[in-house]
């Protein structure tokens, strides 16, 4: 079951249930104003199964604009959860290599704040590369959608845009390397009702196009993530509450070669096999 936020003819954001690959049912007509309220209940899929028997308006996906699949949820991210990410980061910075090496094996994961909901970029809109960065990359990541009790209720696709030269210069610059305009994209929708073991079978694919030609493609499997999803979620909710729920990116396992940097006008495509495609052009911010 897939849920989205959408806008039809410049109106207020609405909640949609994708009934197939080309149409959605308008759940706002059934009284649902936010994804947050729908996802708040642990039995959300059963409730939806009841609601969707009602005669609700149906729209063509081609006639709506998809919005970010978050209302007020904070977005956080886990780091160094794949061996590939640990190696890339140890190569990127001799100065910080020990920190990455240690956190990969430590009990406590690396978790960092990534974005307020209102700053997240939806599919189709530009993600940013910093004008003061020399080495910028997308990070294709599976994102856990958590309700206010920390329960994983769904999954979406995330792009944790990063300035690797700024991060590599000094680990204390991590917030500047990770948080800036257009640095977080999420979408296109939330996939519900999937167990962790099913999600671990999914593939994550990254393709970067420049003037229509692929300049990088790579893939990984969600199963390569070192930590369990509930372990990551529990650490996020330790000593912190999220009254609106939260989204947690689970780290990257696809890293372009060190000679590669994004340019304005590139197109970033991230596909997660069980969810869909998140596609964003790149602009300098
Ligand atoms: O430690 C820096 C960030 C790591 C990260 O974003 C990742 O592994 O995906
Ligand atoms: Mg990342």
Residue 29 contacts residue 41 (beta carbons within 8 Å): no
Is the pTM value of this prediction over 0.85?
yes
Q: What phi and psi values does residue 183 have, to the nearest 5 degrees?
A: -85, -5
What gap in Å lies between CA 281 and CA 54, rounded to an integer? 38
pLDDT at site 84: 87
pLDDT band (50, 70, 90) for residue 60: very high
Please tell me the distance between residue 141's alpha carbon and the centre of ligand 2 in angstroms: 7
Question: Nearest CA to 226 among 246, 247, 252, 205?
Answer: 252
Using one digit for the tens of pLDDT, what is the confidence trace for 107-136? 999 999 999 999 999 999 999 999 999 999
Give the residue whose CA is nearest to atom 1 of ligand 1. 79
pLDDT band (50, 70, 90) for residue 229: very high
pLDDT for 10 beyond 90? no
Looking at residue 150, what DSSP letter applies? S
pLDDT band (50, 70, 90) for residue 48: confident
Using one digit for the tens of pLDDT, what is the confidence trace for 196-214? 999 999 999 999 999 999 9
pLDDT at site 112: 98
Q: Work out the number of other CB atoms within 10 angstroms of the CB of residue 215.
A: 15
What gap in Å lies between CA 205 and CA 273, rounded to an integer? 8
pLDDT at site 92: 83
Which residue out of 251, 255, 256 has the highest number of ligand 1 atoms within 8 Å of its CB and is therefore the one to mutate?
Answer: 251
Using one digit for the tens of pLDDT, what is the confidence trace for 123-173? 999 999 999 999 999 999 999 999 999 999 999 999 999 999 999 999 999
258, two tokens: 């060190």
Residues with C-beta less than 6 Å from any ligand 1 atom:
77, 79-80, 85, 89, 110, 139, 160, 174, 251-252
Q: Among the residues of 152-199, which ranges form H helices?
A: 164-169, 174-178, 196-199
% the chain with pLDDT above 70 = 100
pLDDT for 42 beyond 80? no
pLDDT at site 2: 96
| Ligand index nearest the alpha carbon of residue 79 | 1
13, two tokens: 């954001």
Please tell me the distance between residue 106's alpha carbon and the centre of ligand 2 in angstroms: 18
Using the atom order of ligand 1, give the atom closest to the CA of residue 167.
2
Using one digit for the tens of pLDDT, what is the confidence trace for 216-225? 999 999 999 9
Please tell me the distance between residue 46's alpha carbon and the centre of ligand 2 in angstroms: 33
pLDDT band (50, 70, 90) for residue 246: very high
Please tell me the distance between residue 31's alpha carbon and the centre of ligand 1 in angstroms: 39
pLDDT at site 93: 83
pLDDT for 179 beyond 80? yes
What gap in Å lies between CA 233 and CA 227, rounded to an integer? 10
Pairing of strands 74-79, 246-249: parallel
Burial class of residue 247 (count of CB atoms within 10 Å of its CB; 0-12, 13-18, 19+)? buried
What mean pLDDT do residues 82-108 have? 91
**Average pLDDT of every residue of the chain:** 95
Give the residue whose CA is nearest to atom 6 of ligand 1. 79
Of 169 and 55, the structure prediction assigns the larger pLDDT to 169
pLDDT at site 52: 73
pLDDT at site 45: 78
Using one digit for the tens of pLDDT, what is the confidence trace for 81-91? 999 888 998 98
Residue 145 contacts residue 198 (beta carbons within 8 Å): no
Give the residue whose CA is nearest to atom 3 of ligand 1. 79
Residue 221 contacts residue 250 (beta carbons within 8 Å): no
What mean pLDDT do residues 237-252 have? 98
């Amino acid at each position: 079951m897939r849920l989205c936020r959408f806008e039809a003819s410049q109106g207020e954001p609405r909640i949609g249930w994708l009934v197939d690959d080309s149409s959605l049912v308008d759940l706002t007509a059934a009284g649902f104003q936010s994804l947050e309220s729908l996802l708040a209940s642990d039995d959300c899929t059963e409730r939806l199964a009841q609601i969707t028997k009602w005669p609700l308006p149906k729209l063509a996906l081609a006639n709506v604009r998809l919005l970010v699949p978050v209302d007020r949820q904070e977005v956080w991210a886990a780091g160094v959860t794949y061996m590939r990410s640990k190696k890339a980061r140890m190569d990127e910075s001799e100065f910080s290599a020990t920190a990455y090496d240690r956190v990969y094996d430590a009990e406590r994961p690396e978790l960092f704040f990534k974005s307020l909901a209102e700053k997240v970029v939806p599919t189709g809109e530009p993600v940013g590369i910093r004008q003061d960065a020399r080495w910028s990359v997308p990070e294709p990541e599976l994102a856990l959608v958590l309700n206010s009790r920390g329960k994983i209720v769904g999954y979406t696709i995330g792009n944790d845009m990063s300035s690797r030269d700024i991060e590599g210069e000094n680990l204390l610059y991590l917030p500047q390397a990770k948080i800036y305009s257009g640095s977080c994209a999420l979408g296109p929708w939330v996939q519900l009702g999937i167990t962790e073991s099913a999600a671990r079978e999914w593939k994550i694919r990254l393709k970067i196009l420049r003037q229509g030609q692929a300049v990088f493609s790579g893939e990984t499997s969600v199963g390569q993530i070192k930590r369990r999803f509930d372990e990551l979620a529990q650490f996020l909710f330790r000593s912190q509450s999220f009254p609106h729920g939260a989204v947690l990116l689970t780290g990257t396992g696809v890293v372009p070669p060190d000679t590669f940097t994004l340019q304005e006008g590139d197109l970033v495509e991230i596909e997660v096999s069980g969810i869909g495609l998140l596609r964003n052009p790149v602009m300098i911010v």
